[in-house]
Amino acid sequence: MKKLFDNVSEVCSKVVTESYSTSFSLATKMLSPSIRQDIYNIYGFVRFADEIVDSFHDYNKEELLNNFEKELTYALTNKISLNPILNSFQKTVNKYNIDTSLINAFLKSMRWDLDKNIYLNKSEFNEYIYGSADVVGLMCLKVFVVGNEKMYEDLKVPAMALGSAFQKVNFLRDLKADHEGLNRSYFPDLNIENFDEISKKKILIDIENDFSEALKGIFNLPKSARFGVYTAYKYYLKLLKKLKKTPPIKIKSTRIRVPNYQKMNVLARSYVRYRLNIL
């Protein structure tokens, strides 16, 4: 009956993905069915860890994260967990031999979110980005290449760049929420009170460079993953363009969103470009 339990666990990971992120779940649906569930499994894990440090303000976050990590260690070692999210994640980790150093780097960044409020320099910021986003891209890449180590090595840099781009767009979009709700400021040398076009442009240039590097890798992904990743890329590029047109005063006072009808338009246009091979 372990198979039934594993199936139930994977349904839970899919529900988490669909409940927390419309954009990511739509993009994941564009992946081949052969790898789709494993991406749900990865997302469920990173989402729950992120929820602990970002949302559970009325509970002991450090204790919750400690317990989560202990359960994860048990799950990875014994290939089972009664936490369905960890059970489905361990299945993917063991199936694709995902390096535990990637998982440890992710958890390190999550621990920083427990009590670290500002990033004073580029080095600290880059280390946080690596752990919170780049390694997630690398975990997904492990799934995409299905054991092809040469392809994995060739595509590591673009995969990390895509993770960085997504995370930095999120930081810019959530500038107000992070500052007022979580008392955090991720971008080094940025005082939100003095956020202006000059500081915004500096951030945008950095993100655009990440997107440019990421696109080089998307062209070379296996067909099973290429369209889904390209769709996610286009979603975030659309959000970046919207942020680019939004005055700094509005960015720091509200959360900028891409409406669902525009997301569907991005999906349709992306599909046409993909079928015409003009990514």
Instruction: Provide the pLDDT for residue 260.
Output: 66
Checking phi first, is residue 146 left (phi over 0); if not, alpha (psi -120 to 50) or beta?
left
Instruction: Provide the pLDDT for residue 263.
Output: 67
Instruction: Provide the pLDDT for residue 262.
Output: 67
Instruction: Provide the pLDDT for residue 268.
Output: 64
Q: What is the distance, to the nearest Å, from the Cα of residue 196 to the centroid of all Cα atoms in its chain?
A: 27
Instruction: Provide the pLDDT for residue 252.
Output: 86
For the chain, what is the domain count? Answer: 1
For the entire predicted model, the pTM comes to 0.93
**CATH number of the domain that 68 lies in?**
1.10.600.10
Asked whether the CA dihedral 261, 262, 265, 266 is positive or negative, the reply is negative
Instruction: Provide the pLDDT for residue 272.
Output: 61
Q: Are the beta carbons of 210 and 165 closer than 8 angstroms?
A: yes
Q: What is the pLDDT of residues 13-67, one digit of tens each?
A: 999 999 999 889 989 999 999 999 999 999 999 999 999 999 999 999 999 999 9
Query: 108 burial class (0-12, 13-18, 19+ CB within 10 angstroms)?
Result: middle
Distance CA 233, CA 215 (A): 8
Residue with tokens 């390096």: 99
In degrees, rounded to 5, the angle at the alpha carbon of residue 24 between the alpha carbons of residues 20 and 30 is 135
Query: 259 burial class (0-12, 13-18, 19+ CB within 10 angstroms)?
Result: exposed
Distance CA 171, CA 184 (A): 10
Distance CA 256, CA 250 (A): 8
Instruction: Provide the pLDDT for residue 275.
Output: 61
Distance CA 239, CA 127 (A): 24
Distance CA 240, CA 201 (A): 12
Distance CA 29, CA 264 (A): 13
Give the range of the structural domain holding residue 242, as residue numbers without chain letter: 2-275
From the list 138, 152, 162, 160, the residue with the least C-alpha distance to 222 is 152
Q: What is the pLDDT of residues 195-206, one digit of tens each?
A: 999 999 999 999
Residues of the chain with pLDDT under 50: none
In degrees, rounded to 5, the angle at the alpha carbon of residue 65 between the alpha carbons of residues 47 and 17 is 10
Instruction: Provide the pLDDT for residue 169.
Output: 96
